């Protein structure tokens, strides 16, 4: 899926369509490992840090 979105984006860029290719590049980025999965991993790390700080505040 990611590869197909990148290929369609490259074809649209080569033909001069700038609106569609940017949308396909955004979709390819969101599907890839740095898009939504990366944002989810970042959020989980932040919530884990917040949880430990909250537990430390309550206990001590």
The string of DSSP codes covering 32-57 is STTSHHHHHHHHHHHHHHHHHHHHHH
**Domain ranges, ordered by start, for the chain:** 2-59
Give the confidence band of 35 by pLDDT, cuts at 50, 70, 90.
confident
Residue 44: the pLDDT is: 95
Higher pLDDT, 5 or 37: 37
- How far is 45 from 49, CA to CA, in rounded Å? 6
Q: How many CB atoms lie within 10 A of CB 34?
A: 9
- How far is 40 from 34, CA to CA, in rounded Å? 10
- How far is 42 from 39, CA to CA, in rounded Å? 5
pTM of the model: 0.51
Closest-CA residue to 38 (of 46, 50, 30): 30
């Amino acid at each position: 899926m990611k590869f197909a979105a990148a290929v369609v984006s490259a074809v649209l860029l080569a033909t001069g369509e700038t609106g569609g290719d940017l949308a396909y590049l955004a979709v390819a980025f969101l599907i890839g490992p740095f898009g939504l999965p990366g944002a989810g991993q970042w959020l989980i790390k932040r919530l884990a840090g917040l949880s430990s700080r909250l537990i430390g505040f309550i206990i001590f």
